[in-house]
Amino acid sequence: MKRLSVPKIQRRKVDGVTAEPVVMLTAYTARTAQLLDAHCDMLLVGDSLAQVIYGLPSTIPVTLEMMCNHGAAVVRGSYHSVVVVDMPFGSYEVSPQVAYENAARILKETGAAAVKLEGGKVMAETVRFLVDRGIPVVGHVGLTPQAINVLGGYAARGRSEAEAKKIVGDAIALDEAGAFAIVLEGVLEPIAIEVTESVEAITIGIGASARCDGQVLVTEDMLGMFERTARFVKRYHNISENIVQAATDYANEVRSRSFPGPDQLYQPKT
Ligand code: KIV
Ligand code: NA
């Protein structure tokens, strides 16, 4: 199977209609990427690795080095999906030039095909700068976790008419700047529908609407790794129960000296 390309993903949307929705999940490790790859169109190396892997309170402390290391692992573990790597907080906001240098580093060090960055109109010039110079960009509007210190929480966005208008305007600005896809996170459904109908970019919903051109979830969220998640997470599994059960069984067997058993022991050659 040949790896999908950004233009191939883009071509899913014809005259505003995406017949086959784009499937995206997060991955931070090679093995997870291997398991998800064949079932996805895009794998996102999200800066949500802050909370999911590193136990950090927000995505703010994530570094470029972390994103490069995990991005490279995910590229090594996949051969089909388009790999998108999040640009961490502080690595792209200051200027298009700085954003380019850091995005180029991500692509060089990881082999990923695209980067994702948060923000609307204010980032449009940067998106244009990157795309014109060979770096495909995914935008991200609505609930943008890197803005946690400005937003004050992770509540849904676009409840007031002014805020709804701003989100739609931000998405259109990213679209006009050349973003090939736009993540719409934590927005009321009518906003997601309006954006999806207004832009050429592939809209990727997370807590948005089934009418987006695609969907993304944090893999560990949908696997049931955490007790508490956002309303928009659907749990397709309860992996934390499996892990706790396995750890319990192992601990019991070690303590009762029933592990290792005959099957796990090296036998003398006969
Ligand atoms: O970091 C992340 O996982 C994301 C998705 C939730 C869109 O940005
Ligand atoms: Na992110």
Beta-carbon neighbour count of residue 178 at 10 Å?
18
Given a cut of 90, whether residue 38 has pLDDT beyond it is yes
| Residue 183 pLDDT exceeds 80 | yes
Q: What is the ipTM of this complex?
A: 0.99
> Looking at 93, 163, 185, 227, which residue is catalytic?
185
pLDDT one-digit tens code per residue, 39-50: 999 999 999 999
Over residues 43-61, the mean pLDDT reads: 98
Query: Smallest Cα–Cα separation from 21: which of 42, 3, 5, 44?
Result: 42
The C-alpha atoms of residue 58 and residue 150 are separated, in whole angstroms, by 13
Residue 231 has a pLDDT of 92
Distance 35 CA to ligand 1 centre (A): 19
- Residue 234 annotated as part of some ligand binding site: no
Distances (CA, A) of 57 to 54, 82, 146, 235: 9, 28, 11, 22
Q: What is the pLDDT averaged over residues 121-125?
A: 98
Q: Is 185 a catalytic residue?
A: yes
Mean pLDDT of 239-252: 98
Ligand 1: atom nearest CA of 185 is 7
Q: What is the pLDDT, as a whole number, of residue 167? A: 98
What residues have their beta carbon closer than 5 A to ion ligand 2? 46-47, 86
Mutational pocket test of ligand 1: of 32, 206, 225, the residue with most ligand atoms within 8 Å of the beta carbon = 206
User: Residue 48 annotated as binding?
Assistant: yes
Confidence of residue 228 (pLDDT cuts 50, 70, 90): confident
Give the HSE-up count for residue 191: Cα atoms under 13 Å, Cβ half-sphere.
31
Residue 16 phi, psi (nearest 5): 80, 0
The helix (run of H) or strand (run of E) holding residue 107 is: helix 96-110
Give tens-digit pLDDT for 81-122. Answer: 999 999 999 999 999 999 999 999 999 999 999 999 999 999
Position in ligand 1 atom list of the atom nearest CA 47 = 1
Using CA positions, which residue lies closest to atom 3 of ligand 1? 46
Nearest to 120 by CA among 100, 91, 141: 141
Tell me, in angstroms, the distance from the centre of ligand 1 to residue 253's CA.
Answer: 39
Per-residue pLDDT tens digits for 152-179: 999 999 999 999 999 999 999 999 999 9
User: Ligand 1 pocket by C-beta < 6 Å: which residues?
Assistant: 26, 44, 46-48, 86, 183, 185, 206, 216, 218
Answer yes or no: is pLDDT of 1 > 90: no
Cβ atoms of 218 and 233 closer than 8 Å: yes
Set out the domains of the chain in order of their start, with CATH numbers.
Answer: 6-222 (3.20.20.60)
Q: What is the mean pLDDT of residues 67-80?
A: 98
Q: Where residue 2 falls among pLDDT bands split at 50, 70, 90?
A: confident
Question: What percent of the chain shows pLDDT beyond 90?
Answer: 97
